[in-house]
Amino acid sequence: MKLSLTVNGADRSAQDVWPGTSLLTALREEFGLTGAKNACEQGECGSCTVYLDGDPVCSCLVAAAQAEGRQVRTVEGLGGPEAVQRAFLACGAVQCGFCTPGLVVAVHDLVHRIEDPDEATIREALAGNLCRCTGYEKIIEAVRCAAAELRAELSEHSAPPGLPEPSESSGPVRR
């Protein structure tokens, strides 16, 4: 089959794609984007997480054909190193790094949805991303660190002085 979609803002297409190809395989083999990883191909580990029309998905569980005509954004398309990627580096959340691209996308989604996620929210949001190296402690630190940096950016750019800040820890949706 022919496959046409938008990847990281660019129109991409491929000819003669086997109809059973997953989005993950298409990204890796057809478009040379190897950031998303092939660790389990069962949707258990989250290493292949990408945005599909703005929602994080396990690209191994999405047929490439389902992405026809849609917007895909991968770890390579985050324009980094951005806040989440910088936080992963600074907090030591990267060891072997095989889970990192998927986690970066999952955390990017989390901190752009929830301004100040508490620990329970972080753990629930990342329950679909396996990491074998870190025991997750430094990943949680990285999430907090990235969220704080984004809040600081936000308050620099928007908040006029004197307006009350939202206070609930798992509250406002940003986008």
Partner 1 sequence: MTIQASAAGIGDSPTRPDGTPKVLGAFGYASDLTVPGMLHGATLRSPHPRALIKSIDVGPALAIPGVRAVLTAEDIPGTKYYGLIAQDCPVLALGEVRYHGEPVAIVAADDVAAARRAVAAIVVDYEVLTPVTDLRAALFDPDSPKVHAGGNVVRHQPVRRGRADDPDIRALADVVVTREYQVGMQDQAFLGPEAGLAVPAADGGVDLHVATQWLHADAEQIAPCLGLAPELVRMTLAGVGGAFGGREDLSMQIHAAMLALRTGLPVRMTYNRRESFFGHVHRHPAVMRYTHGARRDGTLVFVTAEILLDGGAYASTTEAVVGNAASLGVGPYEVEHLAIDAYGAYTNNPPCGAMRGFGAVQTCFAYESQMDALAAELGMHPLDIRARNAVKQGSVTPTGQVIDAPAPVAEMFAQLRAMPLPPDRAAGDLLPGGYGNTTHGEGVRRGVGYGVGIKNICYSEGFDDFSTARVTLSAADGEPAVTVHTAAAEVGQGLVTVQGQIARTELGVERVAVAQADTTVGSAGSSSASRQSYMTGGAVKAACEAVRERVFSLARERGFQVAEGSRLAGGKIVSASGEPLVDLALVLGADVVEETREYRHRPTGPLDRMTGQGSSHVQFAFAAHRAVVDVDVELGLVRVVRLDVVQDVGRIMNRQSLEGQIQGGTAQGLGLAVLEEIVVADGKVRNPSFTDYLIPTILDMPPMGMRILEYPDPAAPYGLRGAGEPPTLSSTPAIAAAVRDATGLALGRVPIRPEHIAVPAQNAARDG
Question: Which one, 6 or 34, has the nearer CB to partner 1?
Answer: 34
Question: Which one, 45 or 111, has the nearer CB to partner 1?
Answer: 45
Question: Which one, 59 or 164, has the nearer CB to partner 1?
Answer: 59
State the nearest-atom distance from the C-beta of 89 to partner 1, in Å: 5
**Interface pick for partner 1 out of 96, 152, 154, 159 (rule CB under 8 A):** 96
The interface with partner 1 within residues 45-84 (CB under 8 A) comprises 45, 47, 74-76, 80-81
Token digits of residue 54 = 């703005």
What is the gyration radius of the CA atoms in the chain, in angstroms?
17
* CB within 8 Å of 77: residues ≥ 6 apart: 7, 8, 9
Residues counted in the chain: 175
Question: Which one, 8 or 163, has the nearer CB to partner 1?
Answer: 8
* β-strands 49-52, 71-73 pairing: antiparallel
Looking at residue 158, what DSSP letter applies? T
CA dist 112 → 124, 129, 161, 168 (Å): 16, 18, 23, 15
Site string for partner 1, 6-45 (x = CB under 8 A): ------------x---------x---xxxxxxxxxxx-xx
Token digits of residue 108 = 């990017």
Site string for partner 1, 119-148 (x = CB under 8 A): xx-xxx-xxxxxxxxxxxxxxx--------
Token digits of residue 82 = 């951005």
Element (H, E) at 121: helix 119-125
Interaction site with partner 1 (CB under 8 A)? 18, 28, 32-42, 44-45, 47, 74-76, 80-81, 85-86, 88-92, 94-101, 104, 119-120, 122-124, 126-140
